[in-house]
Chains A and B, each alone.
Chain A
């Protein structure tokens, strides 16, 4: 299942979003245009639906309250609204619609309240619509969504599971190399990979070996002299071990703390693509990687996601990634900051870009100059 359309109002940088999403989505935009905030919409829905989650912790504990979520451009309509349409992988027929409106109590405990919540199925039949009579009788009910309540969501559990299993990855190699140097509570969903090795350790051995072998095959092509990648444990701690070609037998072994940042990020990326079958959110997967590898990432991602029929949403600044002519313009979302918040456009909706591609320019050549700040040439003079 994929999210085929997203409609949002008053979310962080965005006053209003209404976009169609494909199986693979690449989000581009200038710094601080809202790429991570866009991904955070899906993480927010996951934080509501996950076990032990819910609307209140998703807003307050994970995001610091409604005031930090609401769009700065919001004036007359302070309700945060999210509407998601689902389709099967490879189709555009809508099979589910979920929408939610969130507001905040104007006094008292200033709890987050459901302004409305609604689910409809592929025939347009409304499964429920809130606020209902029960909500009006007991106002406390409005502090919880139906996503987080097992006894109310049985009819649309598919949506709940989809949100719950959404995976976000922005692997920080240093966290993985030196996990004990970064203390403090674990972040929900382990977005930065501190517990990455534990996640690998928890996977059944057979599945783990198959997945690691796939990672190894990619790494062998990308990392010179790498022969083998395997999972080991030492004194109960999980480790990754790479064996490199070396003139002395048994001399070319390295553990994850000796891996390069790029190697670790590639392992994280290709592992995550095989981990789970729900939505995968990848934050700048090109970081630390050689340009030649990055130019193949989009097609590699597509090959792996197709096996699982899962949707992948990527943020990127990389011209190498967008060099791939196999990327359709309908897969690229362009974030353009304006005085009224950031506007999200599908690249295919901008006819100038389509004309440029028709004349042989790559998506990278046609799109990336549009998102660069106009005054960027001045930056070198600022420090003279």
Chain B
């Protein structure tokens, strides 16, 4: 793999941004970082992500997205979409 894969991250707050960055940077391929964070989406809080989640899900048809959100009482992330 010559270049790392561009990744868009979506998060609730600064703490979750840090967590995502840490996780993403740990994913390696042949000793090099597999992903690089190219864009970040955050509107402050859970409501912002829930409101726009369908948009991010649809945009992931074009490139890789990583969304970190509190599932609260939902069993599965996909339930947030419907």
Question: Chain A: residues with CB nearer than 8 A to chain B?
Answer: 350-353, 355-361, 365-366, 369-370, 372, 374, 377
Contacts and interface: CB of A to CB of B under 8 A. Distances in A.
A359 B58 contact: yes
B61 to A, nearest CB: 6
Given A352-B62, A355-B61, A366 B55 contact: yes
A377 B62 contact: no
B64 to A, nearest CB: 10
A64 to B, nearest CB: 35
**Chief secondary structure at chain A's binding surface:** helix
A351 B8 CA distance: 14
A352 B59 contact: yes
B40 A356 contact: no
Contacts of A356: 52, 55-56, 58-59
A372 B57 CA distance: 21
Interface in B11-31: 14, 17
B4 interface: no
Contacts, number: 47
B39 A369 contact: yes
B52 to A, nearest CB: 6
B13 to A, nearest CB: 9
Contacts of B17: 377
| B interface, size bucket | 20 to 34
A374 B40 contact: yes
Binding site secondary structure of chain B: mixed
A370 B52 CA distance: 15
A345 to B, nearest CB: 13
B41 A369 contact: yes
Contacts of A366: 55, 59
Given A352-B63, A355-B61, A355-B62, A361 B55 contact: yes
A355 B59 contact: yes
A366 B55 CA distance: 9
B39 A360 contact: no
Contacts of B50: none
B33 interface: no
Nearest to B58: A355
B54 interface: yes
Contacts of A350: 62
Interface string B39-81: 1111100000000101111111111000000000000000000
Nearest to B42: A369
Contacts of B42: 369
Contact of B40 (A353, A361, A372): A372
